[in-house]
Amino acid sequence: MEKMIEMMLKLAEEKQYRRLKELLAEMNEVDIAAFIDELDSEKAVVVFRILPKELAADVFACLSVEKQQHIITSITDREVATIIEDLFVDDAVDMLEELPATVVKKVLQNANPDTRALINQFLNYPDNSAGSIMTAEYVGLKKTMTVKEAFDYIRRHGVDKETIYTSYVMNEARQLEGVVTVRDLLMNTYETVIGDIMDTHVIKAVTTDDQEEVADCFQKYGLLNLPVVDHENRLVGIVTVDDIVDVIEQEATEDFEKMAAMAPSERPYLKTGVFQLAKNRIFWLLVLMISSLITGGILAKYENAFAVLPLLVTFIPMLTDTGGNAGSQSSTLIIRGMAVGEIEPADVFKVVWKELRVGTLVGVVLAAVNFVQLLIRFPGQPLVCATVVVSLMATVILAKTIGCMLPMAAKVLHMDPAIMAAPLITTIVDALSLVIYFQLACALLGL
């Protein structure tokens, strides 16, 4: 592929457009778009124009926003109109959401009134709702049709539809009555009436449902597409599995970002500006910095202790890091388990009991290893060794318990469990572990 693109870039450079056109006609729209994205703006428009007509809209949908914008502003209104009519509504909407207002205006002016109305309707669905990821291109049948009539209908109207493998059966009021797949049609005789073979137990979503719920539904039932209805059960669109694949990745990325104490970003890293990146990160850094200043305040109470025995200070990083890591492990497993639906808040007792035992096991191993190295390094200070080891064990067990309980508590309180991830857990565990450590030190060592 790399070599092919190199050769094609050379052809574009040498303006050998006829040869280039032949090569392009053989290629997949995704690869063509990748090639055009590599060209400079001027060449991109030229190459886009020599594309076979039936490919142009598909390629356009795969281009980067920058190239889309440049092409839209460089081509004629008539060409814009053709592209926008050929695009699937969901692709058109995705594109318009990214483009600047002036370009959007040019696009909408050139769309025909029906398309424009549809696009405007779609642009109004809330972000991340079923409505915002659905497409209006589906095959709608009536239950009085026969299989033969259905096939004829699909043959006549199907080319435009994003998926023709599932057809939706509606009554006069456009209310969803059932679904029938091409497979059902193929497996029955031409005379069969659709009403007799359609499946009336339709799994469906409502326009306002969250895209995450929609994705869960796809996964649970292994769907290829899902009808979306309005609050009167009228069919308004379908969601297809290729969009769900993107939703799942996007939701996972959001969780990764939240769990690393950042506001989720709308765009890929390399395309996000420095100020936006800084803005996404600063809020949590500030909150956590101030929280750890409080931890520092706690530490100040024990100034006398470490003035007398400075050795105590050298174990602080080990204690706080280990506590933070142990807590993050638990919180990560629980947050992820809840995100994929494996763990429910009702499991809280099972989870805490499990973490208590895991924490004890892990704590004992860590304490034992530590005890050996301490005895070797500080043979004359058994009480210091004991303080460190006992604090370590208590910290690990406490960290595991807090790490599993806070995300579940967040879920119960309808907050996002992903906030209760490594950074916040670490800060909380830090404070607690230092209190345990110095209290114990004061008691055992009489400081």
| Nearest CB to a second copy, comparing residues 75 and 445 | 445
* Binding residue (CB under 8 A) for a second copy from 69, 115, 328, 395: 328
The interface with a second copy within residues 361-420 (CB under 8 A) comprises 361-362, 365-366, 369-370, 373
* CA distance linking residue 75 with residue 48, whole number of Å: 10
Specify whether the backbone of 400 is left (phi greater than 0), alpha (psi in -120 to 50) or beta: alpha
| Residue 432: φ, ψ to 5° | -65, -40
Verify binding: residue 343, a second copy, rule CB under 8 A. yes
**Alpha-carbon distances, residue 278 vs 173, 252, 263 (angstroms):** 51, 21, 10
Furthest CA-CA distance within the chain = 95
| Nearest CB to a second copy, comparing residues 260 and 443 | 260
Verify binding: residue 248, a second copy, rule CB under 8 A. yes
For residue 419, how far is the Cα from the chain centroid? 16
Point out which span in 10-18, 96-104, 172-180, 352-360 binds a second copy (CB under 8 A).
Answer: 352-360
The interface with a second copy within residues 82-101 (CB under 8 A) comprises none
- 146 DSSP 8-state letter: B
Verify binding: residue 325, a second copy, rule CB under 8 A. yes
* Binding residue (CB under 8 A) for a second copy from 168, 427, 436, 437: 427
Tally of residues, the chain: 447
| Residue 40: φ, ψ to 5° | -75, 165
Helix (H) or strand (E) holding 181: strand 176-181
* Binding residue (CB under 8 A) for a second copy from 286, 375, 415, 443: 286
- 126 DSSP 8-state letter: P
Verify binding: residue 277, a second copy, rule CB under 8 A. yes
* Binding residue (CB under 8 A) for a second copy from 407, 408, 426, 441: 426
Verify binding: residue 428, a second copy, rule CB under 8 A. no
CB 389 within 8 A of CB 371: yes
The interface with a second copy within residues 152-171 (CB under 8 A) comprises 154-155, 158-159, 164-165
Burial 53-92 (b: 16+ CB within 10 A, else e): eebbbbbbbbbebebbbbbbeebeeebbbbbbebbbbbbb
Q: Which residue, 370, 252, 356, 262, is CA-closest to 321?
A: 370
| Nearest CB to a second copy, comparing residues 68 and 427 | 427
Verify binding: residue 439, a second copy, rule CB under 8 A. no
CB of 76 to a second copy, least distance (A): 29
* CA distance linking residue 32 with residue 368, whole number of Å: 61
The interface with a second copy within residues 170-189 (CB under 8 A) comprises 182-183, 186-187
Verify binding: residue 297, a second copy, rule CB under 8 A. yes
* CA distance linking residue 422 with residue 57, whole number of Å: 45
Amino acid identity, position 431: A
| Nearest CB to a second copy, comparing residues 117 and 286 | 286
Amino acid identity, position 388: V
| Nearest CB to a second copy, comparing residues 100 and 296 | 296
| Nearest CB to a second copy, comparing residues 13 and 256 | 256
* CA distance linking residue 229 with residue 129, whole number of Å: 12
Verify binding: residue 246, a second copy, rule CB under 8 A. yes
* CA distance linking residue 187 with residue 181, whole number of Å: 10
CB of 172 to a second copy, least distance (A): 26
Point out which span in 2-10, 172-180, 229-237, 308-316 binds a second copy (CB under 8 A).
Answer: 308-316
| Nearest CB to a second copy, comparing residues 4 and 443 | 4
Verify binding: residue 261, a second copy, rule CB under 8 A. yes
Verify binding: residue 242, a second copy, rule CB under 8 A. yes
Verify binding: residue 307, a second copy, rule CB under 8 A. yes
Verify binding: residue 340, a second copy, rule CB under 8 A. yes
* Binding residue (CB under 8 A) for a second copy from 63, 80, 236, 244: 244
* CA distance linking residue 187 with residue 194, whole number of Å: 12
